[in-house]
Structure 1
Amino acid sequence: MGVQLKSSSLSPTVDHILDSRRHNSCLTLDAVPKFACRVKYLNLLLLSAMPGCCFCEGMALSRLLLLVLVAELAAASSDVGFVFDGFTGEANLSLNGYAEVTSEGLLKLTNFTPEMTGHAFYPSPINFKNATDGRPISFSTTFVFAIVPVYPNMSGHGIAFALAPSKELPGSMPSQYLGLFSKSDNGQASNHVVAVELDTVKSVDFADINANHVGIDVNDLKSVNASPVAYFDSREGVLKSLQLISGEPMQVWVDYDGGEMKLGVMVAPLNKPKPQVPLVSFTINLSSIVLDEMYVGMSAATGAATGCHYILGWSFGLNRDAPPLDLSKLPKLPRQGSPTKRSTEVLAIELTLAAIILLLISTAAVILIIRRRKKFAEMHEDWELEYGPHRFSYKDLYRATKGFDEQNLLGVGGFGRVYKGVLPTSKMEIAVKKISHDSKQGMREFISEIVSMGRLRHRNLVQLLGYCRRQGELLLVYDYITNGSLDR
């Protein structure tokens, strides 16, 4: 739920101010929200102060009261703050692009759609300049974020906290531009943008140091200072690296000291204390960069690689520390803390299943080949080579008789069954007689006699074309004669 700590009301025109003075009526400072308008109002009060008016009695009292009011006004103008311990449908934010607030209370800047941007800005403008001397005003912000990639070690493109003159950032591009700039305006002083980037892709065009860094950007995505993501563990006394695309929530602090004009950024895992030393810092006079009115918010972008960019909580304070986030109230990520792990497990399961299926298919193919070869296997011996021209392959005979189909059965004799067939290559009609035999004894002599008979030509003899021999089976191939019989 978001809580706004300071708000302002409608601003009156100068004519309204003068009219109120003419009628000795009082116009309260609460009716003048913008600092510049309030200063003009005070000046008008000073110039139009009259004895007996409801605002003052005499010039001296007017001046004294005005000094007090100026001091109060200066303090009030810089007293801006808000805190979101999670987000709801009533969250006071201006959303743009693919940004949305989920039913769980998460601010989701992007989904897994490639080449897209998402913006979420606080809707009211903020003045970062002191109206009296133009010096920059200090501010502080903290937010909890998480980047959930589709696959481990691959996500795009990152999140940026930004001070910008617009809530929509029109013309900004996705991918390496992080939804902040476009190819044409990147690096232009007219951008008036200061940002802290959490970059997950190394862009050579912007001289990125790596694909996991925090950078400070001023009107340009070539960071003025950057560092690999890490935090100092004070308990162990060591610097520990962090992975932005780990899918785990992390907290970021951005502090700007208007007196020293120094911007500092700190990062730590959730529930870890704020580091004492900034991870990355830069000295910058904000008043020379920003306009009188600026907006604060978040921007994120995806490229060819995608990821969900989440903000779990966010607070901001102008001229003071950002209000602390109540971490116990922050919404949970979908299947908290395990999206990357789940992706890895799903990928491992898919690969395992694919390997098993491939193995089963390969095994089935091998078995099918073995069975097919066994089905058409024949017996060959060296002595049969001289009878080669008279030997038919079992596969040809099988195809010729359509697998020895019963519809091609011509008859059954004392030595076997006779089938009609058509040779697949020559289209010659044949009759095939299958004869069972259980012994090899005398087979050579028997084949020799068959071949000898095949050489005979007589009008009263059925022409014997050849043979085929399988284990336990002998097949004789005759020329097919219509209405003939192989049993006679």
Structure 2
Amino acid sequence: MYLRILFLLLLCSLNLELSASSNDDFAFDGFRGANLSMDGTATITPDGLLRLTNTTKLLKGHAFYPAPVRLKASPAGKVLSFSTTFVFGIVSENRDLSGHGIILALTPSKDLSGAIGTQYMGLLSPAKNGNASNHIVGVELDTIQNPELGDINANHVGIDINSLKSNASYPAGYFTDDNSGGEFKNLSLISGEPMQVWVEYDGRGMQLNVTLAPMGVAKPRIPLLSSTVDLSAIVLDDMYVGFSSSSDPFLTSHYILGWSLKVDGQARALHLPSLPSLPRVVTSGKSRNSWTLWVSLASTLFVLCTVAGAAFIVRRRIKFSELMEDWELEYGPQRFSFKDLYQATRGFRDQELLGAGGFGKVYRGVLPSSKEEIAVKRVSHDSRQGMKEFVAEIVSIGRLRHRNLVQLLGYSRRRGGLFLVYDFMPNGSLDKLLFDRTRPTLSWVRRFHAIKGVAAGLLYLHEEWEQVVIH
């Protein structure tokens, strides 16, 4: 009798495990007509591409399989083995710059409204990053280096456990299957070319493997990343699986072309010829080079024929010369011409000087076109290293809007110098009101009002804006 009861219990346990694994098996060879749970900028294009972000807004996007995936046969049991593969592509408007990458995530909920974009990729926030209560497992394809998160470079793959600070990471690439033991070949995640990722977890060996290769290349035998991690305490019985991404700070489209997953088995192979194609960024390299050549020849002939006129033009251009690189084109509305700032401040005369500090001098100016009063801070910056990140941060800060913060209107730069343009404050700075003995002493009521304004501005910077700004 006892043997019969034991047999029935084992049979029920086996059936439970089989039912837990047989329902969690799906494949998308393109997403036309697919039933996914999406929010933010995520959408499915008419061609069947799953587009997580676009090049019109600096926002985050999420796309999840609508039903939870059962990853445990019992609440106290081990995490079942699972396998998933997907093809992705990152298409940026800038050839060498992009927004933050893509992360494949297992989460206890599809609601990530409390997460922010930027380096947190729409998955977490600074307050929750690293919390054991997150119950999040992710594989990130990161295209921007964030030192505060321990990123190894701006082109890597990482395994994330409850945090965007990866447990393990490696530069993006793959190991070839040859007799030399596997030669490593680098891949650029922002190349605009489709690539395939395989993520496999061995429940018994507690081994998590991540493999990357160009689309069309057979899955390499040697994984890019291999980490021993027990997911039992991290993963809940039912988890949602999907993608999260953010296009900030550079406008970028993140695409998923196809995706399959299977619990307690091998994910179905994607039918690569059926996948939709990535859009191409049109570049006219040959025509640009030819045009540059003809302009150079024409300029040379013009200089030889009109020496006096050319000398005047060269002298004027040197006076108002600026540095403008391709990656700055998207910042057009936030960039001022140096000529306008030079005229506005009357050549940065001492009579227009408002003050000076450790980072440079501040001048009063009036824009010649709009007659708007501005304040121009002249910052010395002799090194080109970090200029892209510096300008991107300036433009990001320029989106701050608060009544107690001086509005940053934009910037201009030339060799050896950076110019920041602010709203002009006709009443001067707070320190003059406090310490200038030629002015009436501030009452305690006005001082308390000023303190509350400063605190409100700091609260907005530290907690209320979508990005944390440490002042």
Common fold: TM-score over 0.5: yes
Q: Paired residue for 1:288?
A: 233
Q: Paired residue for 2:285?
A: 345
Distance between the aligned counterparts of 2:288 and 2:53, measured in 1?
26
Q: Which of 326, 329, 333 lines up with 2:278 in the alignment? A: 333
> What is the DSSP-based 3-state SS (H/G/I as helix, E as strand, rest coil) of the residue aligned with 1:288?
coil
Distance between the aligned counterparts of 1:351 and 1:99, measured in 2?
39
Is the Cα contact below 8 Å between 1:93 and 1:122 reproduced in 2? yes
| Pairing 1:174–2:120 present | no
Is the Cα contact below 8 Å between 1:115 and 1:301 reproduced in 2? yes
Q: What amino acid is aligned across from residue 139 of structure 2 in structure 1? A: V
Is the Cα contact below 8 Å between 2:155 and 2:188 reproduced in 1? yes
Matches within 5 A, 1:179-258: 179-235=122-178, 237=180, 238-258=183-203
Deviations 1:103-145 (A, max 9, x none): 0010011111353111110010112223175111110000000
Distance between the aligned counterparts of 1:216 and 1:354, measured in 2?
50
Distance between the aligned counterparts of 1:347 and 1:172, measured in 2?
44
Is the Cα contact below 8 Å between 1:151 and 1:344 reproduced in 2? no
> What is the DSSP-based 3-state SS (H/G/I as helix, E as strand, rest coil) of the residue aligned with 2:19?
helix
Matches within 5 A, 1:397-476: none
Matches within 5 A, 1:132-151: 133-151=76-94
Distance between the aligned counterparts of 1:289 and 1:350, measured in 2?
58
Q: Paired residue for 2:26?
A: 82
Q: What amino acid is aligned across from residue 275 of structure 1 in structure 2? A: P
Q: Paired residue for 2:66?
A: 123
Distance between the aligned counterparts of 1:219 and 1:350, measured in 2?
52
Is the Cα contact below 8 Å between 1:151 and 1:343 reproduced in 2? no
> Would the alpha carbon gap of residues 209 and 63 (structure 1) be closer, same or farther in structure 2, given more than 3 Å must change?
closer
> Would the alpha carbon gap of residues 359 and 299 (structure 1) be closer, same or farther in structure 2, given more than 3 Å must change?
same
Deviation at 1:319, TM superposition (A): 0.6
Distance between the aligned counterparts of 1:114 and 1:229, measured in 2?
27
Is the Cα contact below 8 Å between 2:74 and 2:237 reproduced in 1? no
Is the Cα contact below 8 Å between 1:313 and 1:330 reproduced in 2? yes
Q: What amino acid is aligned across from residue 243 of structure 1 in structure 2? A: S
Q: Please, what TM-score do these two structures have when normalized by structure 2?
A: 0.60
Deviation at 1:62, TM superposition (A): 7.7
> What is the DSSP-based 3-state SS (H/G/I as helix, E as strand, rest coil) of the residue aligned with 2:63?
strand
Deviation at 1:346, TM superposition (A): 9.0
> What is the DSSP-based 3-state SS (H/G/I as helix, E as strand, rest coil) of the residue aligned with 2:248?
coil
Deviation at 1:347, TM superposition (A): 9.4
Is the Cα contact below 8 Å between 1:188 and 1:219 reproduced in 2? yes
Is the Cα contact below 8 Å between 1:135 and 1:287 reproduced in 2? yes
Q: Which has the larger radius of gyration?
A: 1
Deviation at 1:172, TM superposition (A): 1.1
The gaps in structure 2 that reach 5 residues or longer are 311-471
> Would the alpha carbon gap of residues 130 and 246 (structure 1) be closer, same or farther in structure 2, given more than 3 Å must change?
same
Is the Cα contact below 8 Å between 1:135 and 1:258 reproduced in 2? yes
> Would the alpha carbon gap of residues 220 and 141 (structure 1) be closer, same or farther in structure 2, given more than 3 Å must change?
same
Higher mean Cα deviation, 274-283 or 314-323? 274-283
> What is the DSSP-based 3-state SS (H/G/I as helix, E as strand, rest coil) of the residue aligned with 1:246?
coil
Higher mean Cα deviation, 236-245 or 264-273? 236-245
Distance between the aligned counterparts of 2:290 and 2:245, measured in 1?
31
Is the Cα contact below 8 Å between 2:144 and 2:154 reproduced in 1? yes
> Would the alpha carbon gap of residues 192 and 75 (structure 1) be closer, same or farther in structure 2, given more than 3 Å must change?
same
Deviation at 1:351, TM superposition (A): 7.5
Deviations 1:15-35 (A, max 9, x none): xxxxxxxxxxxxxxxxxxxxx
Q: What amino acid is aligned across from residue 243 of structure 2 in structure 1? A: M
Q: Paired residue for 1:268?
A: 213
Distance between the aligned counterparts of 1:323 and 1:130, measured in 2?
22
Deviation at 1:366, TM superposition (A): 5.0
> Would the alpha carbon gap of residues 329 and 250 (structure 1) be closer, same or farther in structure 2, given more than 3 Å must change?
same
> What is the DSSP-based 3-state SS (H/G/I as helix, E as strand, rest coil) of the residue aligned with 2:148?
helix
Q: Which of 94, 108, 119 lines up with 1:165 in the alignment? A: 108
Distance between the aligned counterparts of 1:347 and 1:298, measured in 2?
38
> Would the alpha carbon gap of residues 346 and 147 (structure 1) be closer, same or farther in structure 2, given more than 3 Å must change?
farther
> What is the DSSP-based 3-state SS (H/G/I as helix, E as strand, rest coil) of the residue aligned with 2:77?
coil
Q: Paired residue for 1:104?
A: 47
> Would the alpha carbon gap of residues 204 and 348 (structure 1) be closer, same or farther in structure 2, given more than 3 Å must change?
farther
Deviation at 1:191, TM superposition (A): 1.1
Deviation at 1:173, TM superposition (A): 1.0
Distance between the aligned counterparts of 2:237 and 2:287, measured in 1?
52
Extract structure 1 runs of 4+ deviating beyond 6 A.
58-63, 360-363, 367-370
Aligned residues, how many?
A: 307
Deviation at 1:350, TM superposition (A): 11
Matches within 5 A, 1:353-392: 355=295, 359=299
> What is the DSSP-based 3-state SS (H/G/I as helix, E as strand, rest coil) of the residue aligned with 2:126?
coil
Deviation at 1:91, TM superposition (A): 0.2
Distance between the aligned counterparts of 1:306 and 1:350, measured in 2?
28
> Would the alpha carbon gap of residues 169 and 346 (structure 1) be closer, same or farther in structure 2, given more than 3 Å must change?
farther
Deviations 1:48-105 (A, max 9, x none): xxxxxxxxxx9997875564343222211122110000111x2021111101100001
Matches within 5 A, 1:30-49: none
Cα-Cα RMSD: 3.1
Distance between the aligned counterparts of 1:351 and 1:129, measured in 2?
63
Deviations 1:410-458 (A, max 9, x none): xxxxxxxxxxxxxxxxxxxxxxxxxxxxxxxxxxxxxxxxxxxxxxxxx
Q: What amino acid is aligned across from residue 188 of structure 2 in structure 1? A: Q
Distance between the aligned counterparts of 1:366 and 1:114, measured in 2?
48
Q: What amino acid is aligned across from residue 186 of structure 1 in structure 2? A: N
The gaps in structure 1 that reach 5 residues or longer are 1-57, 371-488
Distance between the aligned counterparts of 2:188 and 2:221, measured in 1?
20
